[in-house]
Amino acid sequence: MTNLLKPISIYFFGSLIWLTLATFLANGNAYIYFGMMLIWFLGILIMEIKHNKDLLSNDWNFLKSHKTKNIILIIIGFVILQIAVSVSGDFFRQFVSDKNNFPTYSFPIDTWLGIFMNLVAGVISLIVAFFEEVAYRYELFYKLKNKGTIPFIILLLISSFLFGASHIYNFNGSILGTLSYALAGLVLGIFYIISKNIWVPIIIHGLFNSVALIAPIVILIFKITSLF
């Protein structure tokens, strides 16, 4: 249980506390908010790469040596993830209040600075995908599943639930609303079990989050071409 409490304290409670602090200090200012998010997740990313460099390196080499199999798993996993989040999101949305209890942050898309900041937000989304997979799928699940103290299915459910709950601000504070993301965590965890490779859920999750980066890239291309 001690092995479980440490990553929960750092990844789940630590991230939520920082997110709450960022929301409070930003006071609606998107630049301050995303700046603080970049600091936190970049710091966690560096820490995870440093502590798990052997895992990441070995799994990456294994991914490349079994390229066809893993590409197929990634495509299937991405499709299933999209369906799971879409269908479950339609159901659990009924438990989310229409009242905006927390500030939302966005940047204008008609200025160069706004486009740049949307690109930064997209990069943060990819960093978050990496962070969450190493944190929730490896540190809070796969790393502990062979310890024998907690059944692996319980670990999978706990890590998936915490993954969903970490997005509580995305659902206006509704814990029931986060269950669609908990299901997403379950899907990603299952594909980690199947592949035995952390890069498979990382890439699936990264593709899912990539919309946040693709959109500003397309806008940037149109803005640049409009100059000629």
Confidence of residue 1 (pLDDT cuts 50, 70, 90): low
CA dist 186 and 65 (Å) reads: 26
Question: Model pTM?
Answer: 0.93
Average pLDDT, the chain: 91
CA dist 58 and 64 (Å) reads: 10
pLDDT digits (tens, 9 = 90+) for 178-204: 999 999 999 999 999 999 999 999 999
pLDDT digits (tens, 9 = 90+) for 141-187: 998 877 766 788 999 999 999 999 999 999 999 999 999 999 999 99
Confidence of residue 84 (pLDDT cuts 50, 70, 90): very high
Q: Which two tokens stand for residue 169?
A: 């601000």
Q: Is there a contact between 126 and 211 (Cβ–Cβ < 8 Å)?
A: no
- Cα-trace Rg, the chain: 18
Of 154, 144, 181, nearest to 165 by C-alpha is 181
Tell me what pLDDT residue 97 has. 85
Q: Is there a contact between 198 and 142 (Cβ–Cβ < 8 Å)?
A: yes
Share of the chain above pLDDT 70, in %: 97
Q: Is there a contact between 142 and 160 (Cβ–Cβ < 8 Å)?
A: no
Residue 6 has pLDDT above 70, yes or no: yes
- Residue whose structure tokens are 């299915």: 153
